[in-house]
């Protein structure tokens, strides 16, 4: 009997000890670990998810899609819920297009409550992952930006990051309108992880579509022409702008080298740059039209004013000569512009004087952004006349010692083409259902002066002009070549091998409907604007004039 009592007592003691431990454990769970366990349970059963707002599409002027959003998903995990990590990693890796070891590493942090396994997984792969029904792995629907034409207008359009926000170009400039407003929803799951309740806590507002002034076919043609320029002259870069000088609408904005908008991070910095807005350069002879415009408006010259030009001219410590050696000649203002005489342009600038010349440089908008509806625009570099040196009026009238952007030059020549109104170029035509506001311009030239300049610039493409080979039969064209030396960063002096060749012109000359600007940075083998840029201008117009149904002159 004593032995039985002892056994019963021992069993009772063991039972009481086990019960005490159970009570202590329950107390710890209910008191000490209550908060963390509640949080973990809630995390497993209740989730607050973001509903990504559908991003607005970007369309050309005719409704062709340039940028759209496609279904995709972000794949995340709660590592401490994932069992058999090596097996899970092996099954997920091919669908995530990554290494199984990388997946396993992310899943091995057992203390972590959340980790992304991949972002922006395409819809098909996301659906396969969803069907695997792996505990602890979540598929969160989102969208991915897709550019159907890949390289077309890539630098202009920009790209979108993994967080769904625009990082460059139009995607960045118009991020707020394109993105819309994301929503939120609360999802309650049962013990098996299956949703049993979904409640929207914040409504989603889709982004607005952007309809551009860009014409996709015109853009394709401009990029094709630049590709041929790139293949022939191997420059560092090139850009072309096609616009309506009457209202400032940009019909094409092309850059070379090309960039695949669907994979922008693998491209070189040169390919990612939108040179039309972000590249500053000395404009060279294309700037002579500004010099002549100011002199005409101030009454310092007329189109027929005759100048006796020596072979060279000295200004302070600088000797300015022509691009090709010649003897003494007599030329009118019109002939000076048509033949791009450096000596003649300096003499016209001297008649204008430093203070009035400076006024006209700023009146044409140089030294300030054009106000185009894009970010990333450079302002250029322009000195005030108080900062001029003794030789400034020897180089500024011929486009040296001043830095501009291609879009600034296009805007300035548009003012000449349209009768004297300077206005901001623009590229967005409609936002959602709302027409974009058309920029108001300001008159900077009289109609008479603008008309006189257009006639003078016709001579550039006529017999004896610097771009006579760029003429198009049946059409009267006007424009100006430019060839400018670049500064050598090593010496701080003008390079003897690196140039910028450019051409800006419009058609028809009397009543312009199209303006084309082409800039080629550091071409090889040839560098004169009349050789590297003027043929590209001609080729773009050869397509654009009949395409836009503009009849011959």
Q: Is 23 a residue whose pLDDT tops 70?
A: no
DSSP letter, residue 363:
H
User: What is the pLDDT of the chain when averaged over all its residues?
Assistant: 89
Residue 54: count other Cβ atoms within 10 Å of its Cβ: 15
- Under a CB-based contact definition with an 8 Å cutoff, are residues 198 and 186 in contact? yes
Q: In the numeric block, which tokens belong to residue 41? A: 């349970």
pLDDT over threshold 80, residue 14: no
Q: DSSP code of 460?
A: G
What count of Cα atoms within 13 Å lies in the side-chain half-sphere of residue 540?
Answer: 36
Instruction: Note whether 51 and 183 are within 8 A (CB).
Output: yes
The per-residue pLDDT for 20 is 63
- From the number of C-beta atoms within 10 Å of its C-beta (0-12, 13-18, 19+), residue 170 rates as buried
Q: Could you tell me where the DSSP H helices lie in 133-206? A: 154-157, 169-173, 175-179
> What mean pLDDT is predicted for residues 251-275?
92
- Rounded to two decimals, what is the model's pTM? 0.84
The dihedrals phi and psi of 192, each to the nearest 5 degrees, come to -90, -5
Q: Is the pLDDT of residue 516 over 60?
A: yes
Beta bridge partners of 272: none
Backbone angles phi, psi at 504, to 5 degrees: -130, 130
Residue 72 pLDDT: 79
Beta bridge partners of 122: 72
SS3 content of the chain, % helix, strand, coil (to 5): 40, 25, 35
Mean pLDDT of 448-452: 97
Sorted by sequence, the CB contacts under 8 Å of residue 11 that are 6+ apart come out as: none
Q: Cα dist. 540→97, 223, 416, 518 in Å?
A: 42, 10, 20, 10
Q: What is the pLDDT of residues 356-387, one digit of tens each?
A: 999 999 999 999 999 999 999 999 999 999 99
CA–CA gap between residue 375 and residue 156 (Å, rounded): 10
DSSP-derived 3-state class of residue 487: strand
The span from the CA of 343 to the CA of 331, in Å, is: 11
Provide the pLDDT confidence category of residue 40 given band limits of 50, 70 and 90. low
Alpha-carbon distance of 435 to 71, in angstroms, equals 29
For 104-114, write each residue's pLDDT tens digit. Answer: 888 887 767 78
Sorted by sequence, the CB contacts under 8 Å of residue 55 that are 6+ apart come out as 69, 143, 145, 160, 164, 178, 179, 180, 206, 207
**Could you read off the pLDDT of 124-169 as tens digits, one per residue?**
888 888 888 888 888 887 778 899 999 999 999 998 987 788 999 9
d(CA 57, CA 147): 10
Top pLDDT among 198 and 402 is at: 402
Q: Return the closest-CA partner of residue 549 out of 517, 514, 515, 506.
A: 514
Average pLDDT over residues 527-543: 96
Give me the domains of the chain, ranges plus CATH numbers: 47-79+153-212 (3.90.1310.10), 216-547 (3.40.710.10)
Check residue 471 and give left, alpha or beta (phi > 0: left; psi -120 to 50: alpha).
beta
């Amino acid at each position: 009997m004593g032995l039985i009592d002892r056994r019963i007592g021992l069993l009772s003691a063991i039972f009481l000890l086990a019960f005490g431990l159970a009570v202590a454990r329950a107390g710890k769970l209910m008191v000490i670990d209550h908060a963390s366990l509640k949080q973990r349970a809630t995390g497993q059963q209740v989730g607050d998810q973001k509903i990504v707002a559908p991003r607005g599409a970007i369309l050309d002027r005719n409704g062709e899609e340039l940028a759209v959003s496609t279904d995709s998903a972000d794949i995340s995990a709660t590592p401490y819920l994932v069992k058999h990590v090596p097996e899970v990693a092996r099954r997920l890796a091919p669908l995530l297009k990554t290494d199984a070891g990388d997946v396993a590493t992310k899943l091995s942090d057992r203390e972590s409550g959340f980790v992304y396994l991949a972002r922006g997984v395409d819809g098909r792969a996301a659906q396969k992952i969803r069907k695997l029904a792996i505990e602890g792995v979540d598929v969160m629907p989102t969208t991915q930006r897709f550019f159907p034409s890949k390289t077309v207008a890539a630098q202009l359009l920009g790209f979108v990051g993994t967080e769904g926000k625009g990082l460059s170009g139009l995607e960045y400039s118009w991020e707020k309108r394109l993105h819309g407003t994301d929503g939120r929803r609360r999802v309650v799951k049962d013990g098996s992880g299956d949703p049993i309740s979904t409640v929207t806590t914040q409504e989603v507002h889709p982004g607005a579509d952007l309809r551009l002034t860009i014409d996709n076919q015109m853009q394709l043609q401009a990029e094709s022409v630049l590709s041929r320029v790139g293949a022939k002259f191997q420059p560092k870069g090139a850009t072309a702008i096609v616009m309506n000088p009457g209202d400032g609408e940009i019909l094409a904005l092309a850059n070379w080298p090309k960039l695949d908008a669907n994979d922008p991070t693998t491209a070189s910095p040169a390919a990612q740059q939108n040179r039309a807005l972000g590249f500053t350069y000395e404009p060279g002879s294309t700037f002579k039209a500004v010099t002549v415009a100011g002199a005409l408006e101030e009454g310092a010259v007329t189109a027929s004013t005759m100048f006796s030009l020596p072979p060279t001219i000295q200004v302070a410590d600088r000797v300015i000569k022509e691009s090709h050696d010649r003897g003494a000649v007599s030329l009118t203002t019109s002939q000076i512009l048509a033949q791009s005489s450096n000596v003649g342009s300096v003499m016209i600038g001297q008649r204008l004087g430093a203070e009035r010349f400076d006024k006209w440089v700023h009146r044409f908008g140089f030294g300030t952004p054009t106000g185009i509806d894009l970010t990333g625009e450079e302002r250029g570099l322009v000195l005030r006349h108080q900062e001029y040196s003794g030789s400034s009026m020897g180089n500024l009238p011929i486009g040296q010692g001043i830095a501009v952007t291609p879009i600034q030059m296009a805007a300035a020549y548009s003012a000449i083409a349209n009768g004297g109104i300077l206005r901001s170029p623009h590229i967005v035509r409609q936002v959602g259902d709302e027409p974009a506001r058309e920029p108001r311009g300001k008159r900077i030239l009289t109609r008479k002066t603008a008309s006189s300049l257009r006639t003078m610039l016709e001579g550039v493409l006529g017999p004896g002009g610097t771009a006579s080979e760029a003429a198009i039969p049946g059409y009267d064209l006007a424009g100006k070549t430019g060839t400018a030396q670049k500064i050598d960063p090593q010496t701080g002096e003008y390079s003897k091998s690196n140039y910028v060749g450019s051409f800006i012109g419009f058609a028809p000359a009397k009543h312009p409907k199209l303006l084309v600007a082409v800039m080629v940075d550091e071409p090889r083998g040839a560098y004169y604007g009349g050789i590297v840029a003027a043929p590209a201008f001609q080729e773009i117009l050869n397509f654009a004039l009949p395409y836009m149904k503009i009849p011959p002159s």
